[in-house]
Structure 1
Amino acid sequence: MLPRLTALILASALAGVLPLAGPVAAQDADPEVTLRFQHFVSPLSANPSHFMEPWAQAIEDQSGGRIAVEIYPFMQLGGAAPSQYDLIRDGAIDGGWVIPGYQPGRFPEAEALELPFMVTKSGEEASRAAWRFTQEYLMDDFADVHLIAAHMHGRGLMHVNGPAIEDIADLDGLRLRGPSRPATLLLERLGATPVGMPVPAFPEALARGVVDGGVITWEMSPSLRLDELVQSHTDVAGDRSLYNLYFIWAMNRDVYEGLPEDLRAVIDANSGMMASAWAGRAHDIGDAEGRAAMEAAGNEIATLSEDVTAQDPRPRRRGDAGLDRRGHGTGPRGAALVDSVRRYVAEETGTGTVPLAE
């Protein structure tokens, strides 16, 4: 909110010395529409800082001040993070940030994007692939909201209150937080005890010893105080992420359709592929900032060797196999979903092909 607040202060200061012409007066007029969007993390974390707030500013600027967008962190408008989709659909809020995986089984086809080692560690590249996949397969799933963007975060890695993971055997018995069904199934297959929970619950669970660590991104680490709550961070070798999460940025369909045509055009101009890539890029920026913060805190940072990363059947094949036995990637429809993700990722990374998991 800072850029908009700063602009308002400057406008107020200048109002006493400069006459207001037509366009400026339009900016200072009361907005025709106020949209209230909600999310569940710190306003200082990467996506709110580098996507949500700039997106809101763009909507306000391009509408000439006729739309105001208010962003509420930490579920301040009510409800819990797993209920966010329904809050938008039912009109309790005008829009917000949703992790479909917080409701396991409700949007199963989206899980193809979240399979182990499926997408690149670049949030922007993964998000471009995610938007294309969403357009092909998921629009019917989200038909009762208006979809603005669909995106992924950057690299997902392991954070443990103990020494860095050096071998798969080091995971045996560890109680690790997972954000989604694919992530918790993967942790189980790797020998850990998975504990599913949304991100707002993670710091308290760590502080109370309910979990020994979990999987999450670099960019969320500072806002979750992982520099204080864990001792080590372990990534995997290669350019594919150990796990990832799929997000949507959406608004209530009736609210969107009730806007005048020219204001809907402003929303549309900040939607789709450009908004999805923008949201993913925000995570990449945050990943660099988050890793730097953990390094500055003196935490141990490690990467599993290529041999351990490719270990048969763990983690790659063991993770994929466990998920496939539950219906993900099996059968004609499942195979088509997985093949489409791989194709889109390959095309968005410029690699041409993505090797199939053996």
Structure 2
Amino acid sequence: MTRALARALTRARAALVLGLLAGGGVAGGCGETSDTGGARELSLAHFLPADHVLTGDMFTPLAEKLAELSGGRLTVRQFPAGALNSSAPAQYSILRSGVADIALAIPAYTPDLFPKTDLIAYPGICKTAVACTEAMRRARTALEAEYDAKVLGLWANDAPVLLTRERPVRTLDDMNGLKIRVSTRSLIPFIEALGASAVMQPGTVVHQSLTTGVIDGVAISPSGIGTFQLHEPAAYLTTWLPTSGLPFVLLMNRGVYESLSPEERGWIDEAADASLSMAGATAYARAGADGLRMAQEAGVEIIDLPENEIRRFEQAIAPAREAGLARQVGDMTAADVIRLFRPAP
């Protein structure tokens, strides 16, 4: 099977699935169609539920702004819930192969491809979605170079909390021997420095893993509590870990972008200005607050570490943090990239 045929079949399958869900309609890629009067329709793929907070706060406003700027000549059709590919780590691949024109990716799921972006999770950089997104904006030039695509948005969520099922974590000693799910490989040495073991798992399986005892805890941004219903298996929630946020990126196929006219590219650039990234951050901040409230209402015990325990956690990871700064990430060291995240003195 040729690549072109494979792509055509993938699009056709996605169109059929969404057509059945929506009660009709045909999906299209980037191109002019006879029934749109010469309009170009871009496909936007992601693996999140159709009602995810990013849909209402980021993807739909992007589509609406493009339609407004172009007078309806440039439109976006969303393919949520993995309609084009259900694997979160595969989203960058389907973008580059042309299956999707625009795609949401989590750089931490493929850290070998995006080691600089992944460093936003490094301890001591930021705690809130807005602060982490601002840090990524300061380093955007270096981060954009990692992507063979047009970067439309770069943002992050809040730093993770720790949800556990059997053992509450009130002190550093309580971490000893726990198996903790993490979202990014960058966190593994720090979780291990706290006395626990770390395992990477996609968010879609953590509910089952925590329920069945495959893992003892989940380190995840509070926005993930509602998305993955983690208030159901969790009994305890520790509100602080010595880590930072998880990065997200919205990308456009470079060939598709470059095939557009200068006017059309201008519409894309205007619609994907800095406010688009910040919309992702504020959406995750609100979802995080909702997640914490959901956990509390479900009876999950909320644990705030005292200052002396926070200092113990920070002291425990200090050697690993210092050693990690010398790690080479492309043409820079981790310390070089982290300096870009910081405000100018």
Instruction: Compute the TM-score of the two structures, normalised by the length of structure 1.
Output: 0.79
**Percent pairwise identity:** 25
**What is the aligned length?**
310
What is the Cα deviation at residue 64 of structure 1?
2.2
Unaligned runs of at least 5 residues, structure 2 = 1-34
**Contact 2:103–2:250 (CA under 8 A) maintained in structure 1:** yes
Task: Please name the residue that 2:123 is paired with.
Answer: 116
What is the Cα deviation at residue 254 of structure 1?
1.1
Instruction: Compute the TM-score of the two structures, normalised by the length of structure 2.
Output: 0.82
What amino acid is the match of 2:67?
Answer: E
**Contact 2:125–2:132 (CA under 8 A) maintained in structure 1:** no
Tell me, in whole angstroms, the C-alpha distance in 1 between the residues paired with 2:55 and 2:188: 26
The structure-2 alpha-carbon separation of the partners of 1:295 and 1:30, relative to structure 1 and needing over 3 Å to count, comes to farther
**Contact 1:236–1:303 (CA under 8 A) maintained in structure 2:** yes
What is the Cα deviation at residue 293 of structure 1?
1.4
Task: Please name the residue that 1:261 is paired with.
Answer: 262
Instruction: State yes or no: 1:275 paired with 2:279.
Output: no
**Contact 1:38–1:77 (CA under 8 A) maintained in structure 2:** yes
Tell me, in whole angstroms, the C-alpha distance in 2 between the residues paired with 1:170 and 1:321: 24
Tell me, in whole angstroms, the C-alpha distance in 1 between the residues paired with 2:44 and 2:320: 35
The structure-2 alpha-carbon separation of the partners of 1:312 and 1:244, relative to structure 1 and needing over 3 Å to count, comes to closer
Q: Tell me which of 141, 144, 148 is aligned to 1:139.
A: 144
What does residue range 9-88 of structure 1 map to in structure 2 within 5 Å?
A: 32-78=39-85, 80-88=87-95
Task: Please name the residue that 1:222 is paired with.
Answer: 226
Indicate the larger mover: 315-324 or 275-284: 315-324
Q: Deviation string for 1:131-167 (max 9, x for gaps)?
A: 22022x122211x211101111123111111343111
Unaligned runs of at least 5 residues, structure 1 = 1-27, 345-351, 353-358
**Contact 1:114–1:246 (CA under 8 A) maintained in structure 2:** yes
The structure-2 alpha-carbon separation of the partners of 1:201 and 1:268, relative to structure 1 and needing over 3 Å to count, comes to same
Q: Deviation string for 1:307-355 (max 9, x for gaps)?
A: 1112166455255146347x169x97433222222236xxxxxxx7xxx
What is the Cα deviation at residue 91 of structure 1?
0.9
What does residue range 91-102 of structure 1 map to in structure 2 within 5 Å?
A: 91-102=98-109
The structure-2 alpha-carbon separation of the partners of 1:44 and 1:291, relative to structure 1 and needing over 3 Å to count, comes to farther
Task: Please name the residue that 1:340 is paired with.
Answer: 340
SS of 1:285's equivalent in the other structure is helix
**Contact 1:154–1:244 (CA under 8 A) maintained in structure 2:** yes
The structure-2 alpha-carbon separation of the partners of 1:228 and 1:188, relative to structure 1 and needing over 3 Å to count, comes to same
What does residue range 157-236 of structure 1 map to in structure 2 within 5 Å?
A: 157-236=161-240
What is the Cα deviation at residue 130 of structure 1?
0.3
**Contact 1:124–1:284 (CA under 8 A) maintained in structure 2:** yes
What amino acid is the match of 1:339?
Answer: R
C-alpha RMSD of the superposition: 2.5
Higher RCO (Cα < 8 Å, 6 or more apart): 1
What is the Cα deviation at residue 29 of structure 1?
5.4
Instruction: State yes or no: 1:107 paired with 2:108.
Output: no
The structure-2 alpha-carbon separation of the partners of 1:235 and 1:339, relative to structure 1 and needing over 3 Å to count, comes to same
SS of 2:51's equivalent in the other structure is coil
What amino acid is the match of 2:131?
Answer: E
The structure-2 alpha-carbon separation of the partners of 1:78 and 1:309, relative to structure 1 and needing over 3 Å to count, comes to same
The structure-2 alpha-carbon separation of the partners of 1:163 and 1:48, relative to structure 1 and needing over 3 Å to count, comes to farther
